[in-house]
Amino acid sequence: MTDIPHVVPPARNGTPALSLRGVTKRFGQKLAVNSIDLDIPAGSFYGLVGPNGAGKTTTLSMATGLLRPDRGQVWVHGVDVWANMLEAKRLMGVLPDGVRLFDRLSGEQLVTYSGLLRGMDKDTVQSRVGDLLRALDLQEDAGTLVVDYSAGMTKKIALAAALIHAPRLLVLDEPFESVDPISAANIRDILHGYVNSGGTVIVSSHVMDLVQRMCDHVAVISGGNVLAAGTTDEVRGDSSLEDRFVELVGGRNASEGLEWLRNS
């Protein structure tokens, strides 16, 4: 890239899959994301954890070109997201959380739509849609309207829509929410296979166990700041990720009080 401005993203093992520098967003009085710096190494399975309202979704929205940051810059594989939007978006597959889908389309139509919007040719789209529906066990319901899907099926079809163009970086906001255990295991297999073949995955979650088992890297975000980031083993040290998380974020109440709630 010739037009990279004054801040040059540090390269440890080659170019990171995703780099954030000084990314800031303010909603009215509330500082939602406070000048975050973060590097997601290429080929990593990266977990983003934090309590509710920590700024995870806001950060990921700014990283994927859905929300313009007040300040700061984002690079995907060295491509400046906010200067070179189209090229950056080609590299990314995004599963946003808390947004609607075009749910009056059938599942098959929705995934096809996602592929065609990205300018892929019809035949490729058609064969990949078939593969994705099979892998995510949605074949039986391919022709059902998405509005009639259960919450877990909706997550899966949105994931398929994010995968169709074989991105180099996958950004998944809460991908396992309300997905049944079997489907979740299938999705984990797909994601691990994807990472092993050189792709990069970022998942946000607040299920610590899942992140500890699944991710090789993790960042803890709270109050719009990165509290810790690194490999999962570095971040958690000797304790479990959950304990380390609670230690970092704080806010646990000693389980006294509520004496009246005890049954005996």
Report the residue number, 6 or 100, with the smaller CB distance to other proteins: 100
Q: Which residues pair with 217 in a beta bridge?
A: 46, 231
Report the residue number, 25 or 217, with the smaller CB distance to other proteins: 25
Rounded Cα distance between 91 and 64, Å, is 10
203, 211 Cβ separation under 8 angstroms: yes
Residues 6 or more apart in contact with residue 157 via CB below 8 angstroms: 101, 107, 110, 111, 136, 138, 146, 149
CB atoms within 10 A of CB 10: 11
Report the residue number, 96 or 236, with the smaller CB distance to other proteins: 96
Q: Rounded to the nearest whole angstrom, what is the least distance from the CB of residue 42 to other proteins in the complex?
A: 21
Cα four-point dihedral sign 217, 74, 66, 53: positive
Q: Rounded to the nearest whole angstrom, what is the least distance from the CB of residue 16 to other proteins in the complex?
A: 20
Report the residue number, 109 or 186, with the smaller CB distance to other proteins: 109
Binding site for other proteins (CB under 8 A): 64-68, 85-86, 89-90, 92, 94, 96, 98-106, 108-109, 112-114, 116-119, 121-122, 125, 129-130, 133, 139-145, 147-148, 161
Tell me the two tokens of residue 141. 């319901």
Q: Rounded to the nearest whole angstrom, what is the least distance from the CB of residue 93 to other proteins in the complex?
A: 8
Q: Rounded to the nearest whole angstrom, what is the least distance from the CB of residue 11 to other proteins in the complex?
A: 25
Report the residue number, 113 or 225, with the smaller CB distance to other proteins: 113
Q: Rounded to the nearest whole angstrom, what is the least distance from the CB of residue 102 to other proteins in the complex?
A: 5
Residues 6 or more apart in contact with residue 101 via CB below 8 angstroms: 110, 146, 154, 157, 158, 161
Report the residue number, 17 or 249, with the smaller CB distance to other proteins: 17
Q: Rounded to the nearest whole angstrom, what is the least distance from the CB of residue 94 to other proteins in the complex?
A: 4
Longest Cα pair distance anywhere in the chain, in angstroms?
A: 71
31, 224 Cβ separation under 8 angstroms: yes
Rounded Cα distance between 164 and 65, Å, is 18
